[in-house]
Amino acid sequence: MPYEFQCHRKGCSFRLRSDTGQEAARLARAHARVAHRDRIAPADLDRWLEQVEAA
């Protein structure tokens, strides 16, 4: 089942969808590091990664 992440920063429209939770987490952390020069706390990442049904 795919995973989806949407950045929660105000004004940021970054979204991603990945086949694995591990890849989605890696890409979300990379986005935060590159786009916002910040990190995502593990607890926040767990809350923000959503398992979604395949289209």
CA atoms of 26 and 54, how far apart (whole Å): 20
Determine which helix (DSSP H) or strand (DSSP E) holds 34, and give its type and residue range: helix 21-36
Backbone angles phi, psi at 32, to 5 degrees: -60, -40
The predicted pLDDT at position 55 comes to 67
Q: What percent of the chain has pLDDT over 70?
A: 98
Q: What is the mean pLDDT of the chain?
A: 94
- Amino acid in position 21: G
For 7-27, the pLDDT digits (tens) are 999 999 999 999 999 999 999
CA atoms of 26 and 17, how far apart (whole Å): 12
Q: Quick check: pTM over 0.85? A: yes
HSE toward the beta carbon, residue 44, CA cutoff 13 A: 11
pLDDT at 43 over 70: yes
